[in-house]
Structure 1
Amino acid sequence: MTANTPSPRLRLTLFDLDHTLLPIDSDHAWGAFTTRIGWTDPVEFERRNDAFYADYQAGTLDVHDYVRFATAALRRHGPEAAAAAQAQFMREVISPALRPQALALVQRHQRAGDEVLIVTATNDFVTRPIALALGVGADGLLATQLARDASGWYSGEIDGWPCMRAGKLRRMEQWLAARQLAWEDVESRCYSDSMNDLPLLEKVDHPVATNPEPRLRALARARGWRILDLFGTP
């Protein structure tokens, strides 16, 4: 490479998690799991959890209210019980939901030399072990960060920008800036199923509508974006 030859741009591949690399919503599944193990009232929790999930699908979720609700049982039971529940959740709910085609897609980008990140609205307590199981690791995870109180345990608030909708774009800009990079310095690709990720999909060089919800599928067709049905024909 001569002095006048520009350096190749970093290839950056971003994955949403729920319904993109996983066929389930890990956040909603965690809530259902806490009910099953007796941490929450089954009727009231399911009602509120389903209502928050509907708001998320509609793009109207108040993420701060949701995180307070979703972490209440976790905070109440404390670190030791939370760690045991997290491990059980991974064994019983997440591991059976891991699909070889999702793992193969991540690995293909890794073998190609891409910087691979999972960028998810679901909080870091739930998603950190999932990122590890997918071969990305904690360093490759951008999730909604749970704030901690003076004791070091979760407070119920969010630390920094929620990693959802336009917040995903802001978190990615922070990630790039920390490495003295801008979007122009990378060749970027994003896989997502959701219209909630439209700000990020519109920003990257190569948007991929993955297992897309109907509105995103229609938009992707109209714009000529690639559509990937990772888990089979819808």
Structure 2
Amino acid sequence: MRIAIYDLDRTLTQRATFTPFLMFCARRTAPWRLLALPIWIVAMLGYRAGLYSRTALKRFGLRLMTGSASPDRLRSVGEAFASRFIANPGLMPKTMAELKQDRRAGARLVIATAAFEFYATAFAAALGFDAVIATQWDGDAIPGGNCYGASKKARVLAWLEGEGIPRDRASIRFASDSFADAPLLDWADEPIFVTSSASQARRARVRGWRVIDPLET
């Protein structure tokens, strides 16, 4: 079985999605929450300074910018957000060409992302993916933590097990723009690193990963 797994942010999409989603959701549900945007910026700086985890940051961001919006409401907003985001700023041309090849080859298409499932599923549906592995949200907390790094690999392995797919019977390619995804890239049969940076490309090639420039047409 051929399985093609893609990261979402900056792999399929031209920009990261979380902060744009927070702003989009605030405008749709409670515009006054946009006044809290400077607080969110300070919170991101605190994360970069190592004061707390990505999971804590993302939980804070959702509570700050979306309030008590239910998961169902977030999914509804997520559908509108994905449609708008795909149109502008858009998708990565070269990555989409890779995806088209995988679809033609009959691969099972999976998004594995740290983005929240309530909007990642909308991207997956719009782009014709078969499954989504993403960060969860129960309305108050993030069960299992952020789907990132080694945790993302663990969730992919759990998905394979749940689907009854033995690893030795699957040919797996994985595309990502992030060195945080090294556990999955090293594990995949065909690792694809997505970058326009010459220095990052050199680092990726040293590890034996194929490199694509996502903006190539």
Distance 1:197 1:215, change over 3 A: farther
Equivalent residue, structure 2, for 1:89: 81
With normalisation by structure 2, the TM-score equals 0.82
Contact 1:192 1:212 in 2 (8 A): no
Distance 1:213 1:29, change over 3 A: farther
> Is residue 2:38 matched to residue 1:43?
yes
Equivalent residue, structure 2, for 1:116: 109
| SS of residue matched to 1:38 | helix
Q: Distance in 2 between matches of 1:87 and 1:126?
A: 6
Q: CA deviation at 1:90?
A: 3.2
Equivalent residue, structure 1, for 2:14: 23
| SS of residue matched to 1:227 | strand
Q: Per-residue displacement from partner, 1:161-184 (whole Å, max 9, x unpaired)?
A: 531100111111111111233322
Q: Distance in 2 between matches of 1:179 and 1:35?
A: 36
Q: Write the letter of the residue equivalent to 1:146.
A: W
Q: Distance in 1 between matches of 2:52 and 2:178?
A: 14
> Is residue 2:161 matched to residue 1:177?
yes
Equivalent residue, structure 2, for 1:5: none
Equivalent residue, structure 1, for 2:2: 11
> Is residue 2:141 matched to residue 1:141?
no
Deviates more, 1:116-125 or 1:100-109: 100-109
| SS of residue matched to 2:134 | strand
- Cα RMSD, aligned residues only: 2.8
Task: Point out where structure 2 has 5 or more consecutive residues left out of the alignment.
Answer: none
Q: Distance in 1 between matches of 2:196 and 2:167?
A: 25
| SS of residue matched to 2:68 | helix
Q: Distance in 2 between matches of 1:161 and 1:80?
A: 20
> Is residue 2:123 matched to residue 1:130?
yes
Q: CA deviation at 1:133?
A: 1.6
Equivalent residue, structure 2, for 1:4: none
Distance 1:180 1:61, change over 3 A: farther
Q: Distance in 2 between matches of 1:49 and 1:88?
A: 25
Q: Write the letter of the residue equivalent to 1:95.
A: A
Q: Per-residue displacement from partner, 1:10-33 (whole Å, max 9, x unpaired)?
A: 111110110101110011322343
Contact 2:6 2:112 in 1 (8 A): yes
Q: Distance in 2 between matches of 1:177 and 1:79?
A: 27
The number of residues matched between the two structures is: 211
* Residue in structure 2 matching 1:163, options 135, 147, 155: 147
Aligned residues with identical type, % of pairs: 26
